Structure 1
Amino acid sequence: MSEQKNMILAIVLCLLIIVGFQYFVEPPVVDEQASQQNTAESDQSNKPSPDANAPSAPGTVSAAKMSREEALKQANRVQINTPSLHGSISTKGARLDDLTLINYREEVDPTSPEIKLLSPAGSPNPYYAEFGWSAAAGTVVKLPDSNTIWSTNASELTVDKPLVLTWDNGEGLIFQRTYSLDKDYLFTVEQSVQNNTGNDVTLYPYGLISRTGTPETTGFYILHEGPIGVFNETLEEIDYDDLQEEGSRIIPTTGGWLGITDKFWLTALMPDQNARIKGRFTYIGKSDRYQTDYINQEGVTIAAGSNNTVKNHMFAGAKEVNLLDEYEKDLGVDRLELAIDWGWFYFLTKPLYFGLEMLNTLIGNLGLAILALTVVIKIILLPLAHKSYVSMSKMKKLQPEMVKLRERYGDDRQKLNEEMMALYKREKANPAAGCLPILIQIPIFFALYKVLFVTLLMRHQPFFGWIEDLSAPDPTSIFNLFGLIPWTPPEFLMIGALPLLMGLSMYLQQKFNPQPADPMQAKIFMLMPIFFTFLLASFPAGLVIYWTWNNILSIAQQWYIMRRMGVSVNA
C-alpha cells in the first residue's frame, strides 16, 4: 500500500472515531403510551415490597403547582449547614429533599446561585431521597410513610450535630431515624425500632431516590447520565429512554450501590455491604418519574421489649474523584469510582487525571497544566515519534523519485508497486511508519478528552484573556470579528480564535508531511484543517488548547529532524 493510502486510512480512522463520539444525539422522548402500559398498575405506596417477585411500583407524584421556595414552606424543616452543603430535611416523611452545593455555582460568576441537587415534592422537578421500613405481605403493622410527621428537638443538622427524628405509631413501636453528615457529601442514616409490644416484629429496611421529569442531558454518546449502580461487582448503566421502554429492572445483589447520576453530580444509596438486597430501577409514566430503590431481602427481627438498628449511607453531591475513591475505600463500597464515566481507556484516563491534577496544583492554572501535560506525553512518546518522523522525512526526501516512477509506470500498476517497494527497501524507508503518531495519539486524545469532559477538574476554570471557562467552547467567532460586530452568529458559525489557531497548526503540520501526488488526494488533505477547525469549535477550550499545542510541538520536532536530515519543508 502506498504512503498516501496509509495516511488517508489513518486520517479516516481518526475521523470516524472523533465524529462518532462527538455528534449530539436527540434527548430522550417519553413514549407515554408505552410507559403507561408498563406502569398502569402502580399503587400509592412509596415502599418497595419484600415479598413480591418485583417490588411494588411507587405512587405517583402530583404535578408541580408551586415554586421550589413555596414547596419548601409546606412542611416544618430542619436546616442543613456544612462546609459543602446547604439545605433542609422535611419533618413530614423525614425526606431528604432540599440540597444545594456550596462550592459549585450555576455560572462562572461566583455570585450566581448554588447548584440545586435535591428539590421537594410539589416543586417543578421533585428529586428526593427517603428511607423507611416495609412489612411482609399479610402483616398488619402501622409504619411511617411519606405523610408521617416526625418529631425532633433539633433545628439544624451539622457535621458535629446529628439529627434525630422520632415517631411513635401508637401501637407499641417507636421509630427513630438519625441523620449524620460529614464535611463533604456523605450521609449516614441509622434506623432503629423500639418494640414495646408483646410480640416479635420483623421489618424490612429500604431506601429510595425519586426523580420527577426527564432531565436534560448533555446528549453525548461518550457519557452516561441516568440510573446507575454496581450489583454483584458489575456496573449497570440504564438510559432514561431505555427504562421508559423496557419497564422496571430488578437486580438481587449483596452490597453494592445504586442511584442516579448527572454529568457532574450524583445521588447514590449505599446499603450495608454485607446485606442481601433487591435493587430496582423504575419508571412511572403517568407522573414521568424515575426511582431507584433497594430493600433488604432478609428482614430485621425486633424481639419484644428490645431495640434493633440498621445503618446505611447515602452520597449526594459532586463527583469529586478523590472523594469517591476515599469513600470506596473507607466504606468498602464496591467500585464507587465508576460513578464517573472513565470510558474504554480507563487505564489511560485515570492516570492522566491524576497527572493533570498534580500539575494544576503545582502550576496554579489548569490551562498551563494542560500544556505541561502535553509536553510530558510528548517526552514519553519521543522515541517512537522520533522514529516515525525520521521515516516521514525519508518519504518526503524520496518524493521527487516517486513522482518520476509514477510518470514512468503510470499505466502499469503492478510494475509501479514493484518499483516503489524496491525504492523503499533500497532507501530503508517505511511508508506506514508515518501513520504511527496519529494512531498512537487517538487513544491518548480520547482519554484526555474524557478527563476534561466528564470530571469536575476543568469546570469553570479560567485560562487567560477571553477564556473564562476551559470546559466550555471558545466563546468568540471570526464571523462577528471576535465581538467587534454586534451580532451573535448561529452555533455552527461560532468559530473562535482557538479553533482557528488549531486549524492553522494542522495546516502547517501537513506541510512537513509527504504530499500526495494524486491531485484529488491533495485537495482532500487541504480540506482537513478546515474540517477539523469547524469540528473542534464545539469542543471544550481546554481540549482545543491541548490539540493546538500538541501540533506545535510536533511541528518543532519534525522541523528539527528534517533539518538534520537535509530535507526541505517544501520538498
Structure 2
Amino acid sequence: MDSQRNLILIGLLFVSFLLWQQWTLDQAPQAETPAAQTVATADKANDVPQSAAKSAAPAGATISDRLIQVQTDTLKLTIDATGGDVVYAALPEHKVEQGGDEALTILENENGFTYIAQSGLIGLNGPHASGQRPVYQAQAANYTLQDGQDTLVVPLIFTDANGVKFEKRYTFTRGHYDVRVDYLVHNTSDAAIQVQMYSQLKQSIGKSEGSMMMPTYRGGAYSTADTRYEKYAFDKMEKNNLAEATQGGWIAMLQHYFVSAWVPSADSTNDIYSNVVSGDAIIGVKQPAVQIAPGAEQTLGATLYVGPKNQEALSALSPTLNLVVDYGWLWFIAQPLHSLLMFLQSLVSNWGVAIILMTLIIRGFMYPLTKAQYTSMAKMRKLQPKLADLKERFGDDRQRMSQAMMELYQKEKVNPMGGCLPLLLQFPIFIAFYWVLLESVELRHAPFFGWITDLSVKDPYYVLPVLMGISMFAMQKMQPTMATMDPMQQKIMQYMPVMFTVFFLWFPSGLVLYWLVGNLVAIAQQLFIYRSLEKQGLK
C-alpha cells in the first residue's frame, strides 16, 4: 500500500470515527426542556428516596424563599433552607466568555431548567422520611470566606417534633471545589432512632451538548467496586432505574469540562440508584442506616464536588473519580499523553507551545515506524516489475501466484503490510491525543498567540485550518505515485486536502495546531527519508 492510499485510509478512518461519535449522540432522546415553571412547584414527587415504601412529597411542597448565599474563592453557592439543597452554584474562576465577568453557572433552578444537588436523612426517624422537606434555620443569610480564612462552616439547624436536633453542616475550604456535607444528629429523645443519609443530583432532561466536531457528553455516571466508571445517560434512566450495591463508589452528572458529584463514605456499603420524575433525571446514593441511642450523637456525611474536571483534585476524593475525564477506550494511551502535556506546559507556560512540543515528541517517537513505512513502500515499488512478471506467468492460478509472491517477498525481505501497519499504530495515538485536547479543561480559554486566544474553540479567522490544508496539499505533491493512480484515486486525493480543511474549520484550534505541526514535521521527515532511500538505491 503506497502513501497515497494511506492518506485515503486515514481520511476514511477519521471521518468514520467522527460519524460514529455523532451517531451515538443522535441516539440519545432529544426531549424538550419542560415548560417554564415557578419555583413554588419545583419539588416533585419521589425527590426523596425511601428506605421502605415509595412515599411521595406532599403536593404543596415548595422551595423556600429563605435562600442562603455562600461565597468562597472558588464557589458561589445558594442553599435553600427547605431541605438544605444546593440550588445554585457558579465558579468565579471560570467565566462564561473569555475576558468576561460572568461566572460560569453549573447548578441552577430557573427558567424551566433544574440542576441541583440534594441530600437529606431518611430512615425510620429521618426528617425527610415522610417525603417532607424540613426547613432549616441558619444564623445568617450570607456567608463569605474572608481573606486569611482557610475554611468556612455554614451550619443549618432543624429540630423535629420529638426534640431530636439535626445539624446540616457545609464546610468549604479555600482553593477547593469539594464541599463537605455532614449531618450531626443529637438524639435528645428517650428512644433510639434510625436515620439514613442520601445524596443525589437532579437535572432536567433535554439540555444537550456536543456536535460532530465536538462530541461531548451530558448525563449521569457512577462508579462501583466492580465497575470503575460507567456512563448512565438520561435515556437509560428513562428505561431502567439504576440499582447497584457497592462498597464506596460515587455518582455524578457530567458536562463538557465540568462535573458535579457526590462521594459517600468509602468504607461503607452504599446503594446507587436513579429515577426519572416529571422530566427530571435523578441519580443518587444512599449510605447504610445507622442506629442512634437515646442521648447519643452521630455524624453522617458525604462530599459534594462542583467544578472543573481537574484530575488531581478528583483523584484526591476517590481513586476513580478522575475517570470522568473520559478519554474513551484509548484512555491508557491518553492519560500518559495528558501527563506529558501538563509537564511541558509547566516548562513553557503556554499551552500552544506545549502542544507543538508534544507533537514533535510524538512524531519523533513514531519516526522509526514512519521510516519503516516509506522503506517498505519503496521496496514494494521496486518489486513491481517482478510482481507483474509473476502475474503474467501465474495469473490464472491463484494458489501458485500467492505462493510465488510469498517466496519473492521472503527472498527480497519485504513485508507487504509494512506500509499499512505503521499507519494503524499511529492512528490510535492521534485519536487518543484528540481526546486529550477535547477533554482537558486546562485548554479552555487558554491563549496561544496573536488571534488564537482560546485553544478550545475554532480559529476565528480560519488561518490554521487553511495552513493545514496547504500542508496536506504539499505532502500530496511530494508523493511520486500520483501520476500512476487511476482517475478515481486521483480525484479522491485531489479533494482530500479540501475535505479535511472544511472539517477542520470547526475543530478546536489546539487540535488543528497539532495536525498542522504534525504535517510540517512529516514533510521534513519525508524529505530526509527520501534522500536516505535514494542513497540506498531505492527510489
Task: Decide: shared fold, TM above 0.5.
Answer: yes
Measured at CA, do residues 529 and 58 of structure 1 come closer, stay the same or move farther in structure 2, by a change above 3 Å? farther
What displacement does 1:151 show? 3.2
Distance in 2, matches of 1:413 and 1:519, equals: 29
The amino acid across from 2:120 in the alignment is G
What displacement does 1:546 show? 1.0
Distance in 2, matches of 1:61 and 1:498, equals: 57
Measured at CA, do residues 255 and 12 of structure 1 come closer, stay the same or move farther in structure 2, by a change above 3 Å? same
| Alignment match, 2:283 | 292
| Alignment match, 2:183 | 191
| Alignment match, 2:31 | 30
Deviations 1:306-340 (A, max 9, x none): 22111211111111122112222xxxxx5111111
Contact 1:106 1:115 in 2 (8 A): yes
| Alignment match, 1:535 | 503
| Alignment match, 1:146 | 133
Deviations 1:109-146 (A, max 9, x none): x22411011124x5542222222111339x99987943
Q: How many residues align?
A: 519
**Secondary structure of 1:248 counterpart:** coil
**Secondary structure of 1:344 counterpart:** helix
| Alignment match, 1:230 | 223
Structure 1: give runs of 5+ residues left out of the alignment: 33-41, 64-70, 329-333, 477-495
Report matched runs for 1:82-101 at 5 Å. 82-101=72-91
What displacement does 1:214 show? 2.3
| Alignment match, 1:552 | 520
Measured at CA, do residues 278 and 564 of structure 1 come closer, stay the same or move farther in structure 2, by a change above 3 Å? closer
Measured at CA, do residues 559 and 405 of structure 1 come closer, stay the same or move farther in structure 2, by a change above 3 Å? farther
Deviations 1:250-285 (A, max 9, x none): 22222100021111111111111122222111112x
The amino acid across from 1:519 in the alignment is P
| Alignment match, 1:511 | 477
What displacement does 1:376 show? 0.6
Q: Is 1:135 matched with 2:123?
A: yes
**Secondary structure of 2:445 counterpart:** coil
Deviations 1:523-551 (A, max 9, x none): 32223222222222222111111112111
Distance in 1, matches of 2:237 and 2:139, equals: 38
**Secondary structure of 1:215 counterpart:** coil
| Alignment match, 1:565 | 533
Report matched runs for 1:43-122 at 5 Å. 44-52=45-53, 75-108=65-98, 110-120=99-109, 122=110
What displacement does 1:23 show? 6.4
Deviations 1:75-122 (A, max 9, x none): 3333322221122323232221221101111112x22411011124x5
Contact 2:205 2:234 in 1 (8 A): no
Report matched runs for 1:162-181 at 5 Å. 162-181=153-172
| Alignment match, 1:522 | 490
**Secondary structure of 2:364 counterpart:** helix
| Alignment match, 1:316 | 306
Distance in 2, matches of 1:59 and 1:507, equals: 68
Contact 1:133 1:143 in 2 (8 A): no
Distance in 2, matches of 1:289 and 1:60, equals: 17
**Secondary structure of 1:273 counterpart:** coil
Q: Is 1:205 matched with 2:186?
A: no
**Secondary structure of 2:220 counterpart:** strand
The amino acid across from 1:152 in the alignment is Q
Cα RMSD after superposing both structures:
3.7
Contact 1:503 1:529 in 2 (8 A): yes
Measured at CA, do residues 197 and 6 of structure 1 come closer, stay the same or move farther in structure 2, by a change above 3 Å? closer
Q: Is 1:272 matched with 2:265?
A: yes
Measured at CA, do residues 162 and 143 of structure 1 come closer, stay the same or move farther in structure 2, by a change above 3 Å? farther
Which of residues 355, 368, 381 is equivalent to 2:366? Answer: 381
Distance in 2, matches of 1:368 and 1:272, equals: 42
| Alignment match, 1:17 | 17
What displacement does 1:429 show? 4.3
Deviations 1:214-236 (A, max 9, x none): 22221469644211110233123
**Secondary structure of 2:266 counterpart:** coil
Distance in 2, matches of 1:343 and 1:81, equals: 35
Contact 1:164 1:176 in 2 (8 A): yes
Measured at CA, do residues 409 and 474 of structure 1 come closer, stay the same or move farther in structure 2, by a change above 3 Å? farther
Contact 1:48 1:294 in 2 (8 A): no
Measured at CA, do residues 56 and 473 of structure 1 come closer, stay the same or move farther in structure 2, by a change above 3 Å? farther
The amino acid across from 1:561 in the alignment is I
Measured at CA, do residues 11 and 453 of structure 1 come closer, stay the same or move farther in structure 2, by a change above 3 Å? closer
| Alignment match, 1:483 | none
What displacement does 1:43 show? 7.3
Distance in 2, matches of 1:409 and 1:522, equals: 30
Q: Is 1:242 matched with 2:236?
A: yes
Contact 1:97 1:119 in 2 (8 A): yes
What displacement does 1:150 show? 2.0
Measured at CA, do residues 412 and 216 of structure 1 come closer, stay the same or move farther in structure 2, by a change above 3 Å? same
Contact 1:206 1:295 in 2 (8 A): yes
**Secondary structure of 1:345 counterpart:** helix
**Secondary structure of 1:119 counterpart:** strand
What displacement does 1:417 show? 7.8
More moved, 93-102 vs 7-16: 7-16
Contact 2:121 2:196 in 1 (8 A): yes
| Alignment match, 1:502 | 468
Distance in 1, matches of 2:105 and 2:254, equals: 14
Contact 2:136 2:156 in 1 (8 A): no
Distance in 2, matches of 1:140 and 1:448, equals: 49
| Alignment match, 1:356 | 341
Measured at CA, do residues 441 and 524 of structure 1 come closer, stay the same or move farther in structure 2, by a change above 3 Å? same
Contact 2:2 2:419 in 1 (8 A): no
What displacement does 1:475 show? 2.4
Distance in 2, matches of 1:85 and 1:140, equals: 28
Distance in 1, matches of 2:203 and 2:60, equals: 10
What displacement does 1:189 show? 1.1
Distance in 1, matches of 2:489 and 2:129, equals: 78
| Alignment match, 1:160 | 151
Q: Report % sequence identity.
A: 28
Distance in 2, matches of 1:376 and 1:201, equals: 62
**Secondary structure of 1:469 counterpart:** coil
What displacement does 1:294 show? 2.1
